[in-house]
């Protein structure tokens, strides 16, 4: 499967190269060869089980040079993946949220280094997790410094994801809080793992940046 995965990534790189340079061998070979070469690799990736389904597209300033859809939307169903299948892009939304936040900074509606709680009040209640009581309840304290938009955009605010944090998992269980996959606001009530600015941790930071964008843009 690792071999097919590498080929899958190579196919994506080849399509990007074709889109970037009309002098590439794909561009010179013609549309039919481009499509067949990419189709073969992507179909093998699906057949090998590397992905349940995949949609791939490549464009140049002159137009689309490749489109392909393979596999299923869900392994448990026979519904095929199509070019217009709507998918959840998960963490790729961070790039969009970061861009929107910096647009708000450029417009003077947000500042990078002022307390984020000035814009999104619930952040005032965020505490740092320091341990566990004998009854299993979390022990927390106020952070040493306020969370800023800069912390959120650079993942240095102190937030974590339950996927990689046993402490967050334990907190959710102790406090009966849904995970971030629920897409519920209550999932954003987990504590910090360290004081803002102390170190880096991949977590729910961009969700709060998004809340700040909503607050000042009205969108």
Which residues are identified as catalytic? Answer: 91, 94, 202
Torsion over CA of 68, 69, 71 and 72, rounded to 10 degrees? Answer: 180
**Would you tell me how many other CB atoms lie within 10 Å of the CB of residue 129?**
21
Q: Which distant-in-sequence residues (6+ apart) come within 8 Å of 212 by Cβ? A: 101, 104, 110, 116, 119, 120, 149, 152
Cα–Cα distance for residue pair 213/97, rounded to 1 Å: 8
**Would you tell me how many other CB atoms lie within 10 Å of the CB of residue 71?**
20
Q: Which distant-in-sequence residues (6+ apart) come within 8 Å of 2 by Cβ? A: none
Kindly list the distances between the CA atom of residue 31 and the CA atoms of 15, 23, 66, 210, in Å, as whole numbers in the listed order. Answer: 12, 13, 8, 41
Cα–Cα distance for residue pair 41/14, rounded to 1 Å: 11
């Amino acid at each position: 499967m690792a071999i097919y995965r590498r080929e899958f990534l190579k196919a994506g790189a080849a399509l990007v190269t074709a889109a970037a340079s009309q002098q590439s061998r794909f561009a010179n070979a013609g549309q039919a060869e481009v499509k067949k070469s990419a189709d073969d690799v992507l179909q093998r990736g699906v057949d090998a089980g590397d992905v349940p389904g995949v949609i791939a597209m490549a464009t140049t300033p002159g137009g689309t040079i490749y489109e392909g859809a393979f596999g299923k939307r869900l392994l448990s169903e026979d519904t095929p993946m199509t070019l217009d299948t709507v998918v959840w892009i998960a963490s790729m939304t961070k790039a969009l949220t970061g861009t929107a936040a910096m647009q708000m900074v450029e417009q003077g509606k947000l500042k990078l280094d002022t307390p984020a709680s000035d814009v999104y009040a619930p952040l005032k209640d965020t505490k740092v997790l320091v341990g566990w009581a004998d009854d299993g309840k979390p022990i927390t304290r106020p952070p040493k410094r306020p969370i800023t938009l800069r912390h959120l955009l650079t993942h240095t605010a102190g937030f974590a994801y339950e996927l990689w944090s046993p402490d967050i998992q334990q907190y959710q269980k102790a406090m009966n809080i849904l995970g971030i996959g629920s897409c519920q606001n209550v999932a954003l009530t987990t504590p910090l793992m360290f004081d803002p600015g102390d170190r880096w941790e991949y977590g729910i930071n961009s969700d709060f940046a998004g809340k700040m964008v909503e607050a000042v843009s009205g969108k």
